[in-house]
Amino acid sequence: MLPSEEKSGILYKIKADFSFVRGNYLLLVLSWILMVFALELPSIFYGPYVINDLHGTPALLGLIGSVSLMIVALMQFPGEYLADNYGRKWLVSKMTIGVGISYVFYALAPSWHWILIGSIIGSFCLVYQPPLWALSAARANDEYLISSCISLFRLRFL
């Protein structure tokens, strides 16, 4: 294969598009892929688990989700402030551990109240999302790579 043909192949394009994914950032992306995959597996059982096993109601499921989303929305601006004061890497690493710990409440929940507590703790720990996106964008060196980088984290919502 000629060098010009090699540079036009799909594998070369993929490698070039994701050239910013290396080092600590590669570890971060791989851990997110693993975490998102692991979180989505039991999600189909979440509603029946809370309603049937933990004696919740559909309204309580909605309440837990609403409270969680409100906290995540409220934590966007403090996230940037904390990242400026303590550093992005520090905030991302510590809060990722906090999110992991919040899932202990889900696993050991004797009632829906524990799910609500775990959801609140996990939502507060998601204060690192804006600095994470900024850290991702800082790794990229042009607009195309920045959009690719942000797409990596948006794939989770599909």
Structural domains counted in the chain: 1
Q: Residue 61 belongs to what domain range?
A: 3-157
The residue with tokens 């939502």 is 123
Distance from C-alpha of 60 to C-alpha of 15, rounded to nearest angstrom:
46
**Listed range (9-23, 88-102, 110-124) with the worst mean pLDDT:** 9-23
Q: Residue 152: which pLDDT band, with cuts at 50, 70 and 90?
A: low
**pLDDT of the residue at 3:** 52
Burial class (CB in 10 A: 0-12, 13-18, 19+), 77: exposed
Mean pLDDT score, 105-116 = 94
Residue 87 CA to residue 70 CA, distance in Å, equals 25
What average pLDDT does this structure show over 31-36? Answer: 75
Indicate if the alpha-carbon torsion angle 54, 56, 61, 63 is positive or negative. negative
Q: In whole angstroms, give the CA distance from residue 102 to residue 98.
A: 6
Query: pLDDT (tens digit, 9 = 90+) per residue, 37-46?
Result: 777 778 889 9
